[in-house]
Every structure is written in structure tokens, then in C-alpha cells.
Structure 1
Amino acid sequence: MPGDRSEMPPLRLPSEAELARQALAAPLFADAVRLARGVRPAPAAGTPGTRDAPVTVVPGGADGGAGGAAGGDALAWRIAVATGLAGAGGEPGPAGNGSAATGPAGERPAAGGAARAATAGEVVRRITVAGPGEILGLWRGALETVLGGNGTGPGESRGHGAASPDGSPAGRPDGAAAGGAAAGGADAMADRAAGAPVTGTARARLHGADTVLDQVLSGLYLLTALEGGAAGPPWPSVPLPALAATAVVPAGMTHPTDAVLEEVLAAVVRLDVRFRELDPLGAVEYRPVDPELIAEFDGNGGPAGDRGETAASGGSGEETAPGAPGGPPGPGDVHRYGVVRLTPLGAHGLRARLLAAGVDAPLVGDLAERGAPELLDAAGRLPEVLAREEVRLWLDRREPRAAAGELLAAARGDDRAAPARRLGCQQALALVGPEAEPALREVLEDRHLGGLARVWLAERGAAGVPAPSEDLVFWLTVDTLAAQLGAGDARPGDPAGTAALEALVEGLVGRHSGFLDAAWQVDHPATGEVLEAMSRLHPDRAVAKAARRAAYKARTRGHG
């Protein structure tokens, strides 16, 4: 699945056994299994009693084309065939051939319609004894069936994709009696929306390699991992308009135009259809868009109706107030535009798609078996909470003194990323117990590590710690700033933001009046870059100018 990142933050998922249990409990997948179990093998041609034998048939063919299996079973039957839960065979023949033919839902096919005999798949006969991995593989196949364009299309009965008046998808226990005109009306509007044109950025992305749905799902996975991935489910819910905007609004646009907002709303209507299908599959928990809003959007020239060139021209040019019919959602309307939460099962499926697309999507704890250099490199790019959890899991598998030795060895170096590794090492060592003290004492005279070793020992009240030289104090200060300021290719900025960095620099220069005069002489590869960054961050123009002069001296001398 395409994404805007080559690496995702780690996510915590339940065990495969728990995920498999959730897959079997998902209504749409359970229906696919139920349909496959009910299929009886088609008798061979010429077998005595063929005309009178009861045969399960799939109207419209086993590929589930338009006019396929009745009602809410259409998409479930497609999943059954696509995943191998049920097979398809036999020759097409007239439905009214005198056999007691029934469809997957028990209905007879329409008179005169074509029918294809179905066969029971070998997979469904094994599903009761299948392991978690096999069940999850089948479920991922179901996910691909829905996402790959094999779900219901315009004009078909959506069944599981239709919404009941209370917002629950039809075909599920909580919406089983919600068919009829109300659901049909919502389906009709959604069907027309699915076939409506898109313009500008939306069209380019929709017809390009990265579809809007792929980008939205990738964004949902990323937001989930960032906001609560390490803690595990349940994860935060995300308003559908916000997800749609990530795929439609051009990068860097802070004030979307009316035309772009219209594209966002058009994407919301389309995504509403797709998330209604993903909800009963167990991939997401979805509160659908209020049908009244779709009707309002339809009545104001939105994509649910005959829009002509409205979208292409960017609308009438009149600005619509937030919350007004056809306009962007107001502060109290966001939930009416749909809210989606990724489930653990959905995260499992999306992660498999990300990995297949070459995107690194690790799980919490994956770093526990890797070396200290990989741990420090990866943890340096993670939010603080995630980094701390990864380090804790890594330390749990190692003896404290040995772990400290590995971390210290990985923190050495004069390369551009070394300051970030040392800062990560210092933060990781904060979680190590007193048993690691011998490893810290061994590096007290090390140019790269002596400063952080003294800090670690002093914080724990260790005796006999030699005082650092002035050169070591300045070197450690520059090294720490290089990591926190993100000099060069090092850690990209401090998580606390620019304001905190400004306060850090201002406080450092304020406490040590001669800092800039001494700092440019520090023999550290990042000295010049650190001083240049300080000149940009310090609010006092005179101090900033002095920092630039110091940076020039450092570079002239060969320090950064």
C-alpha cells in the first residue's frame, strides 16, 4: 500500500491467536465462512437424478458480478470465492432448469437469469482446525477483496455496506431489520457519489499509483501509531474529513480554497462508502456520515448528484460558511461527517500491505532482538514515549552491565549522527540499574563518553568520580546541543519545539557570559553548525551576531 513515509512508528498488536479470534468474529468474514459451509458440490453432468438434485448456485456467476448473490450476501460471497473458502465450477446454465436451485442467501435466482454451480472449497473444511496464521491469511485475502475493487460497486445491493437509520451497517445483528427505503436511499446516494467525477489534485491522485483510499489508510495507520500505538488498543478515533484532507489538500496549503474544500467533501462521501464495507470486516470501527449531510451536499451541487462542471470550475465562487449545507464542517458537525478508529485486526492487515509495498512498519518490541546501534538509531527517530518503551523492552532481555557496555560502544564516533546516538544512549542508560556502574567507570577517560558517564554516576551519588576538565564540559555541551538542535543529519529538532530550543540557547548563553568566546575552540565536528544554529535561535540580535562570528571562527579552524 503506498504511503508518504518509508518508515512507520512501531505499533503494539495483540497475539496472532487473539487477532484470529477477532477475524472469525467479524460479521462479514463470518458470513463468507457461513456461505461457503452451505455450498454443496454440483453433481457431474449425466449423473442420475441431476435434474432433481438440490444444487447451490450463484446467480450471475461465481465472480459476483452485478446482479450477484442476493442482499447482504453479495460481498460475503465474493470474499468466499476470492479467498478459496468456496470454489466455483460447472457450466453456466439457465436458472429455471427444473432443479431446486438456491442462492447463498436461500433465494432462488431470477427467472431466465444465468447461474453457475458452486463447489465447496477445501479451505473452509479446514477452518475449524486452522492455526491463527492461516486464519489471518484468509482474513487478509478478504481485506484485499474489499480494497482491491472487488467489493460492491455502483448499482449493486451493498448489504454490509449499507447503513441503517441508526448508523449501524445493514446485514449486522444491530441493523438486520434496517433494509427498505431508508437504507436504499442512502445506498443510492452513495452509489452516485462513487461514480461522480473528481477534479484537480484529487483526480490526479485517484487515477495515479496512490489512490485516495490508500493514502487515507496509510495516514490512519500513521496517526494511530503516533497517538497511541505503543500503549495498544483501543486507539484514538479520527474524523473522516481530517483523513480525507491528508490525501486531497496539497502539502503546505494552510488555508484551503473553496475548490479544495469541495474536493475534501467529495472524498469524504467516497470514503464513507468504503469504510462502511471495512467496518463489518472488522478492519475499522466506523460511525458513518450523517445521511442528511449527504442529501444536503447532493442538493447543493455536490458529487452525489449531477454536478456537470461545478467541481471542475471550483463551484460558484461564493464562499460557504462552515457548517452550512454543502460547506465545510463546522466545529459541532465533525462527528456527523464520519469518525473512524483503526482496530487491531485492521492494523494487522494494513501493516501487511505496508510491508509488501516496501514500507518499514515495525511492531513494538521488534528492536529487542537487534543490536545497540540499531536500537539507538531507531529510537532517536521515535516520539519519547515510544522510544522509552523500545529501550525498556531491549534492556529486559539483557544483563544490566552487558547492556550498558553495548550502548556505550554504539555511542562512540565522530560521524554526523553520533551526537544523536550519544543522547539516546544517555536516555537509555537512565533506565539501567546500579549493576551497570562498572561499565560506566570504564569509559570515564573516553573523549566521547567520559562526560555522559560522569553525569550518570553523579546522578546516582557514586563515590570517587573525578571532576571533568573544562574542555570536557564544553565538548559535552556542544555534543548535547548538536543532538538536540538536529545539526546536519542528526536528530531532527527537539520534540518540545522551537520555543523550548530558544529557551535552552538563551539560558546557556545567559549563564555563561564567555560561552561563545570559548565554544568556537571546541574540537568537535559539529561546533560550527551548533554555533550557527544558536545564532538563528537566540532572540538578542547582538548575541546572534556574536554566535555567527564564533561559527565562522570554528569553521576557519576546521571545527564543523
Structure 2
Amino acid sequence: MSSDRPTLPPVRLPSDAELARDALVAPLLARAVRLARWAGPETRVGAGGELVEEQLPAAAEALGLTADEDGAAYASEAWRVAVDTGLVVVEEPQDDENGGEGGAVEAGGPLALVAGGAPQDILALWLEALETALDDATAPLVDDLADIIGEDGDLDLDALDWDPQHEAEFLDGVLGNLYLLTVAEGGSGDAPVPLPALAASMLVPDDMGEPTDDILEQVSEAMMRLDDQFRVLEPIGLVEYQPVDEALMVEEGEEPPASVADDEDVSRYGMVKLTPLGLYGVRARMLEAGMDAPAVGDLADKGADALLDGVAHYPEASARAETHAWLARREALPAARELLVAAKGADAGSPLRRLHCQQALSLVGADAEPAVREVLDDPELGGLARVWLAELGAADVPAPPEAMVFWLSIDTIAAQLDAGNVGDQEELRELVEGLTSQHSQFFDAAWRVDHPATPEVLEAMGRLHRDKRVAKEARKAAFKARSRAGD
């Protein structure tokens, strides 16, 4: 049986063009673009390239935020994105004739891409803006600047009790868990995830039954930190976020809420979901980190062997969508022939390839019939071909030789075992018991089947069958099959 599994289930993303449109209307990037177009030779910046304080009211006005009490802060944040992404280029500031600091500001090359670039260019720009937003989200919270100014007048970063690497890794872990909860079969999908559940996913050990008071306090503290961070990340378009109800916030010195169990409306404690653009962004960061994070459509341009191996452990809906995308780029009959060739083999993954080949051929439909009839005499594909033709309702389907029936039985169970779907355990048990009831001497023939998975399949049949006598026969047959394989 194959032991290879994708790290994550495949994600279904909109087209690059749709994602690029979402990126351009994300408030933070849109503001950065507006400021880049507003900036000019007279724009004054500080030593770090930031807008000087006297310049912020004009920047806020350019963004239409004059009436907003946070307009200057939004303008400063957007300017930082514009600088970090290269939308504006700031030369090294020089002391001006008035003794103040000034620096030349001009439009950067990426600004032209906003109007004339390809979707991939826009998305690359957005990913750079996302990095700035993530840096802001993990920056230390300072309530009183005086608390971190040392005796020499310099900032005392140790007083912050802030570990930037830990903060970044924790937020990456949270986003990774949110991604997994979104794309996993039976996960949240498009539904928002409660903030307490997301925080708990990072802090409550899997083997812990009832969380301790200490763990619950850590979860509460993490929730409050995540509330701040998701407020920062929403304007870049990464998430849709319903913040924690301010009525639940506690004053300094009071005990934080240790659990939300007493409150039926869990949404008051914050709800978050990744947007389609957010899924794209988190996946891009995972891929850059070397993780296996597949997306539906990745295999559309690859061969049939890559398709059948790739969808081997996809959830059913994702495997179907990937196969549809693959077939949409090919003519039906050549595609069917390519699938059948790829389904052959005696390696550990071949039974599951044949199962997915049969499912792919069902999407091709009657156009695949000539290709399927061509393999009726193939020892590995003949049984599959007969089953497929019978399901199609085709005429003149030849009866299979007995040896092919047993080989197909072993191959089918091997594929189901490799698929590893716990929810299908009862269905697999019914298949096993059906086979043994139809053939009273099933195990006398089955242990002789020349299939690499025969011993493992017979052992599994012994575990699955509810009749103890039949289960014992299966285990004996498995022993014989192993001895035969050894000889």
C-alpha cells in the first residue's frame, strides 16, 4: 500500500484574474496605490522613508480620510506598504536648507503594473504588501511609550517582553490551521471559524481531555492578541473578520474570560475566515516554505500518470474537479487511452490508480468505449474494463475468466484500503462479506492470486469479516500468500 499522502488537501481557488481584481480592491493596497500616484517631488519623508508627521494630513486627505480620526494612521500604514512594495521609491534623505530632513520621492516600476500588468504581476505585488501587513500584525503592542524608554533615552526592547520570531511563527501556525480547517473535507469551508476554537487549536494538546485553567487562560490571551492581529490583516484582504465584542473586554487587573462555554453566542468572541485571496496568500507562503499545498487545477497540464497519482488521496469532490479540469483540455478518446496506460502497473499505488482511472472514464462517458474495449484481454485492466462497460450499459460484454474475477477482487479491496477512508469502513466490510458469500471457496483461490497486495488484502479481510470462522480462513490464506510470495 502507498504511504505517500499530500501534506494538505487541495484548495479550490478562483482564476488569477479574479484574485488579481480582489487584490486591487483590498483597502490597504488600494490606499497604497493612491498614495503612490499622489506623491511627488514635494513629498517629505523621514530618515526611514516614512512620511513626516506634517505630511500626514495631506496624505489622509488624498485618501478621503480627513474626517476619520484614524485617517493619519491609515495614511501612514498605506505609505509604508507603498514603500515596501516599490510603488514609490524614496532616495536617501538629505538635510534640506531649512535644517529638516527631506528625500526625493518618485513612482516605482510596480505602479505601472497596477494598470497594465498581468494578473500574476498584481498578485506578486499583493504578496509583498501582505508581508508588510504581517509584520505590522506581529509588531509589539505599546500602550505607553514612556514604559520602554531607557535612562539613556533609547528604546528598551527587552522591556517589551516581545520575541519577534515566536510571534511570527505563532501567527503562521494560526493561519496554517485556519487554512486546513477551510480546505479539509468536512471542515469549515466558506463558514467562519470561532476565534476561541482557532486559538485552542494552537494551545490545547491533542491528548488533553478537559483543558486546565492555565491552558484556558493562555487561550484567552491568545484570542485577544489574535483579535488585534486580524483587525490589522483584514484591510489587506487576507481575512473577513468579526471582532471580539468590546463588551467582553476586561479592564486591566480583572480576570480575563477563561471560557466561552457559558455564552451561547460564540460569535461575540470573534469569527474569522480566509477570503479566496487569503487562501491564495497562505498557500503561497506554505509553498515558499517547502510545504506540499496542492490546488485543484495543478495537474491539468500534466500526464495521466501524474493525474492518477496526484488525486489518489484527494477528497472525492476535489478529485472529481481535478479530473474534470484535466479532461477539459483533451479529446475524449486519446484521453481515455492515456488514462488506461497510466493505470497499469504492479507497484503499491497501482490499485488506487486503477480505481481513479475507472472513475475518470465515467466522466468521459461513451466516447471512451473504443479505448476500454481495447484492453478487455489485458490481465490488469480487463476486469476494470468489463465493470465499466457493464455500468455503461454496453452490449456484448464478454464474461471474465475466473482468474480475472479473483484478481479484480484483490485489486479492488487493495484500492479501497489504500484510499484509507475511515467513513467507508462499513462499505468495505460489506464488500468483503459479499465476496466470501458469493464464493464458498473464495480463500482457496484467493491466496494463489498473483497480485502484490494479496497478503495484505487477505489479512484485512480477516480483520473486517464479522464471522469468526471466515475471518480465521482469511488469516490462514494470508499466511499461505506470504509463504508463496517468499518462495
The separation in 1 between residues aligned to 2:313 and 2:196, in whole angstroms, is: 28
In angstroms, what is the RMSD of aligned CA positions? 3.5
Q: Of 358, 369, 385, which residue of structure 2 is paired with 1:426? A: 358
The separation in 1 between residues aligned to 2:55 and 2:186, in whole angstroms, is: 41
Report the Cα offset of residue 516 of structure 1.
3.0
Is it true that 1:463 corresponds to 2:450 in the alignment?
no
8 Å Cα contact 2:44/2:55 also seen in 1: no
Q: Aligned ranges for residues 296-375 of structure 1 at < 5 Å?
A: 299-300=254-255, 302=256, 325-330=257-262, 332-375=264-307
Residues 473, 127 of structure 1: alpha-carbon distance in 2 compared, 3 angstrom cutoff: closer
Residues 499, 454 of structure 1: alpha-carbon distance in 2 compared, 3 angstrom cutoff: closer
* SS of equivalent to 1:154: coil
The separation in 2 between residues aligned to 1:340 and 1:251, in whole angstroms, is: 22
8 Å Cα contact 2:312/2:356 also seen in 1: yes
1:78 maps to which residue?
80
Q: Aligned ranges for residues 91-240 of structure 1 at < 5 Å?
A: 91=93, 117=103, 119-123=105-109, 126=112, 129-131=115-117, 132-149=119-136, 153-155=140-142, 207=165, 211-226=169-184, 235-240=190-195
8 Å Cα contact 2:311/2:319 also seen in 1: yes
Is it true that 1:525 corresponds to 2:452 in the alignment?
yes
Q: Deviations over 1:499-540 (max 9, x none)?
A: 433343344434444333332222221111011112222334
The separation in 2 between residues aligned to 1:483 and 1:259, in whole angstroms, is: 46
* SS of equivalent to 1:381: coil
Is it true that 1:435 corresponds to 2:422 in the alignment?
no
8 Å Cα contact 2:185/2:315 also seen in 1: no
The separation in 1 between residues aligned to 2:55 and 2:143, in whole angstroms, is: 8
8 Å Cα contact 1:272/1:338 also seen in 2: yes
The separation in 2 between residues aligned to 1:296 and 1:497, in whole angstroms, is: 51
Report the Cα offset of residue 477 of structure 1.
0.7
Report the Cα offset of residue 115 of structure 1.
5.4
Q: Of 187, 203, 212, which residue of structure 2 is paired with 1:248? A: 203
Q: Deviations over 1:4-63 (max 9, x none)?
A: x9643333333333323222211112222233333332xxxxxxxxxxxxx433467425
1:20 maps to which residue?
20
Report the Cα offset of residue 269 of structure 1.
1.8
Q: Aligned ranges for residues 479-558 of structure 1 at < 5 Å?
A: 479-486=411-418, 491=419, 493-494=420-421, 496-558=423-485
Q: Deviations over 1:231-285 (max 9, x none)?
A: xx99332222232233323344454433333333322222221111111111111
Paired residues in the alignment total 453
Amino acid across the alignment from 2:456: E
TM-score by length of 2: 0.82
2:344 maps to which residue?
412
In the alignment, structure 1 segments of 5+ residues that lack a partner are 42-54, 100-113, 158-193, 198-202, 303-324
Amino acid across the alignment from 1:352: A
* SS of equivalent to 2:241: strand
Is it true that 1:280 corresponds to 2:235 in the alignment?
yes
8 Å Cα contact 2:406/2:446 also seen in 1: yes
Q: Of 286, 291, 295, which residue of structure 1 is paired with 2:250? A: 295
Report the Cα offset of residue 559 of structure 1.
7.9
TM-score by length of 1: 0.72
The separation in 2 between residues aligned to 1:483 and 1:65, in whole angstroms, is: 66
Amino acid across the alignment from 1:126: A
The separation in 2 between residues aligned to 1:65 and 1:448, in whole angstroms, is: 74
Report the Cα offset of residue 331 of structure 1.
6.8
Amino acid across the alignment from 1:430: S
1:106 maps to which residue?
none
The separation in 1 between residues aligned to 2:29 and 2:161, in whole angstroms, is: 29
The separation in 1 between residues aligned to 2:261 and 2:471, in whole angstroms, is: 45
Is it true that 1:454 corresponds to 2:417 in the alignment?
no
Amino acid across the alignment from 1:86: V
Q: Deviations over 1:272-317 (max 9, x none)?
A: 21111111111111111222333279721x4xxxxxxxxxxxxxxx
* SS of equivalent to 1:126: helix
Amino acid across the alignment from 1:494: N
The separation in 1 between residues aligned to 2:299 and 2:392, in whole angstroms, is: 28
The separation in 1 between residues aligned to 2:174 and 2:132, in whole angstroms, is: 18
Of 515-524 and 432-441, more deviation after overlay is shown by 515-524
Amino acid across the alignment from 1:78: R
In the alignment, structure 2 segments of 5+ residues that lack a partner are 57-71, 145-158
Residues 536, 125 of structure 1: alpha-carbon distance in 2 compared, 3 angstrom cutoff: closer
The separation in 2 between residues aligned to 1:128 and 1:379, in whole angstroms, is: 36
